[in-house]
């Protein structure tokens, strides 16, 4: 994409941040993001609500407050499947209302496979903007949701798990990252923030490290994982995006001696509506974790620390500190 040089553009595509940010006055900026995908669960209402939580997540990851959204709908004309689109749209609309925002319009086309998502628009004070740049050596890395939704969704499509069995992952995908952002703000010590989605935990961490000019160490055994994920990796339920993420991670990650493929797959699993990944000042880390617990985020775990830039920038260790 061509670079943009305009003082009103505070964040553009070049830094691979979570959303675009456009200043409209000295103390206000618009934040916009777009996300859509194929059904991740069978229940259409739940799919719509997850799509909304996922789209809003990129606003929270910039420190923004959601304002409104527009639907993007691609859906088959087959009467049996068409009958489900209303529930999917209702699920998205209800989740937007929970976030204090509204769906105000959208666009639909016919497609062979259902797809649903949103353009989400929010606002932020320019001096309160949180980006993926700003992590400093010594910062603690905190994650607010377990990982493994890509693997579980693939297992669901294969009939290897039921929605019942992945209920904890579904509850997590339905959880707005609003509470996690509020905890980050209240702690006052968060230097960098992003959300974990399609590029997986390591991919999004690497983007943060590159934007901040630092490295990191992750304690693999501390990373929270949804129940049943390890078994499904062994059974081969690995989505294509996760396989590509594992290949990409090889160029920026040092793995511990004798690490198995399952661990690489797990840490690179493509997430939907994943948690926030925060680099927090070491002196503010315990206060942040306490606030996250209080808010009831699906996880609140310190998984590693920021280091000086190294080659490769990211080191995975299998000890427990």
**Token pair recorded at residue 238:** 């690995």
- Greatest Cα pair distance, the chain, in angstroms, is 58
**Which stretches does DSSP call E strand in the chain?**
9-11, 20-25, 28-37, 65-75, 102-110, 115-124, 140-143, 190-195, 215-219, 253-254, 276-280, 301-307, 314-317
Tell me whether residue 123 or residue 231 sits nearer to Co ion (CB atom). Answer: 123
Tell me whether residue 84 or residue 133 sits nearer to Co ion (CB atom). Answer: 133
Residue 78: other Cβ atoms inside 10 A: 9
Cα 159 to chain centroid, rounded: 25
Tell me whether residue 35 or residue 302 sits nearer to Co ion (CB atom). Answer: 35
Return d(Cα 130, Cα 181) in angstroms, integer.
10
Backbone angles phi, psi at 317, to 5 degrees: -125, 150
Tell me whether residue 56 or residue 299 sits nearer to Co ion (CB atom). Answer: 56
Tell me whether residue 58 or residue 269 sits nearer to Co ion (CB atom). Answer: 58
Find the Cα–Cα–Cα–Cα dihedral 303, 156, 120, 196, rounded to 10°.
Answer: 10
Tell me whether residue 32 or residue 73 sits nearer to Co ion (CB atom). Answer: 32
> Who's near 294: CB < 8 A, 6+ residues apart?
183
Question: What is the distance between the terminal CA atoms of the chain, rounded to a whole angstrom?
Answer: 42
Residues at the interface with Co ion (CB under 5 A): 18, 35, 58, 195
Return d(Cα 185, Cα 298) in angstroms, integer.
18
By Cβ distance, which residue is nearest to Co ion? 18
């Amino acid at each position: 994409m061509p670079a943009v040089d305009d003082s009103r553009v505070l964040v553009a595509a070049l830094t691979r941040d979570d959303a675009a940010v456009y200043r409209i006055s000295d103390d206000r900026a618009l934040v916009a993001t777009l996300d859509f995908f194929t059904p991740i669960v069978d229940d259409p209402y739940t799919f719509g609500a997850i799509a909304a939580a996922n789209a809003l997540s990129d606003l929270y990851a910039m420190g923004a407050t959601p304002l409104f959204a527009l639907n993007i709908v691609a859906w088959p004309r087959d009467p049996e499947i068409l009958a489900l689109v209303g529930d999917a749209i209702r699920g998205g609309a209800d989740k937007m209302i929970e976030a204090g925002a509204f769906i105000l319009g959208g666009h639909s086309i016919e497609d062979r496979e259902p797809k649903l998502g949103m353009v989400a628009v929010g606002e932020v004070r320019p001096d309160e903007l949180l980006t993926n740049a700003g992590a400093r050596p010594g910062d603690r890395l905190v994650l607010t949701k377990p990982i493994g939704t890509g693997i579980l969704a693939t297992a669901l499509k294969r009939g290897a798990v039921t929605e019942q069995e992945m209920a904890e992952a579904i509850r997590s995908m339905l959880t707005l990252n609003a509470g996690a952002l509020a905890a980050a703000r209240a702690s006052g010590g968060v230097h960098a923030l992003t959300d974990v989605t399609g590029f997986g935990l390591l991919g999004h961490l690497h983007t943060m490290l590159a934007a901040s000019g630092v490295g990191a160490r992750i304690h693999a055994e501390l990373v929270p994982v949804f129940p049943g994920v390890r078994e499904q990796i062994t059974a081969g339920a690995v989505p294509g995006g996760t396989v590509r993420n594992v290949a990409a991670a090889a160029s920026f990650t040092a793995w511990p001696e004798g690490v198995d493929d399952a661990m690489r797959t797990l840490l690179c699993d493509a997430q939907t509506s994943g948690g926030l990944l925060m680099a927090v000042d070491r002196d503010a880390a315990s206060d942040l974790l306490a606030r996250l617990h209080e808010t009831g985020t699906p996880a609140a775990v310190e998984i590693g620390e920021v280091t000086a830039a190294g080659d490769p920038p990211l080191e995975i260790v299998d000890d427990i500190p």
